[in-house]
Amino acid sequence: QLQLVESGGGLAQPGGSLRLSCVASGAVFNINSMGWYRQAPGKQRELVAVATSAGSTNYADSAKGRFTVHRDNTKFTVDLQMNSLKPEDTAVYYCNAEKIAPHPHPPFEYWGQGTQVTVSS
């Protein structure tokens, strides 16, 4: 089984920065993508940023230009540097990892426990 443990998060002022970190342990082989999702109160969980094992990245439009995802395949970590934070970035942020499953099955998905990010003055 694959475990994901997040750290970071907390309270930031608008315009401020925070850094989230996630480390994978256990069955760390064959991880395809690692990244971050978030869920605000009353809203669905949404993609923030992901990085594949090949080095490509994908960002939500709301994160482009402000957030940077960095994955270290040797340490099985994925970080999210968040700059120019806005109140609408307030949410619980979840670390996510995906493993490719044999066709025709969907990928195996793993989630961390979530970490709260609050942006407020």
- Per residue in 79-95, pLDDT (tens digit) is 999 999 999 999 999 99
- Looking at residue 57, its pLDDT comes to 96
Name the token pair of 29: 């082989």
Rounded Cα–Cα distance for residues 69 and 82 (Å): 9
Rounded Cα–Cα distance for residues 80 and 36 (Å): 7
Does the pLDDT of residue 65 top 90, yes or no? yes
Residues in the chain: 121
Predicted confidence band of residue 61 (pLDDT cuts 50, 70, 90): very high
Does the pLDDT of residue 101 top 90, yes or no? no
- Looking at residue 55, its pLDDT comes to 86
With tokens 């990892």, the residue in question is 97
Rounded Cα–Cα distance for residues 47 and 64 (Å): 12
Residue-wise pLDDT for 16-59, tens only, equals: 999 999 999 998 888 999 999 999 999 999 999 999 988 899 99
